[in-house]
Amino acid sequence: MVIKNEFFDVINYAVCRAVNDRIGDQAEDFFRKVGEFHLEEALRRGLVNFQPEDTPLERLFKVARYLETCGYMEKIVIDRLSDTEAIVEMFGVTVAESSARLLGEGRKPSHFMTNMMFAALKRLAIRADLQDMEYDAKAARFKEYWKILSPAP
């Protein structure tokens, strides 16, 4: 049996709305913590494998491949601009409609990929700056600019 994208999108909206309604301004921190627990569990189960020699960007690539293989997104393209900068473009995002709706309502979406990537960098005591470049909810496509900052405060 396969879970339909529409079901996952509805669940995403419902959970995110409940979190936003319940804890308000703390929703973003809550979802960051979800990303940390998600990564921890994916590593424990061997769904994501980091090597000690992996660069920060290599870790982001590994998180992206995991999310692709799980069907969270159809495709993630990471265009490395330098050792510390990349453009991340996501296609076929399963939670595109719910995320766009939440943003339009002034609520915080889950940002599963983003929060897992932040968690991967946090494990290295590194932080990153992220800027949304563009998104098209109807096409389920998002594009972000990432800059690795070192070390984390």
End-to-end CA distance of the chain: 45
Residues 6+ apart with CB under 8 A from 32: 115, 118, 119
Say how many domains are in the chain.
1
If pLDDT is split at 50, 70 and 90, which confidence band does 136 have? confident
DSSP character for 26? G
Contact assessment for residue 110 and residue 53, using Cβ atoms and an 8 Å cutoff: no
Q: What pTM was computed for the model? A: 0.90
Can you say whether residue 122 is alpha, beta or left, with left for phi > 0 and alpha for psi between -120 and 50 degrees? alpha
- Could you tell me the CATH number of the domain that includes residue 145? 3.90.1520.10
Instruction: Report the distance separating Cα 95 and Cα 115, nearest Å.
Output: 14
Which tens digit of pLDDT belongs to each residue from 5-47?
A: 999 999 999 999 999 999 999 999 999 999 999 999 999 999 9
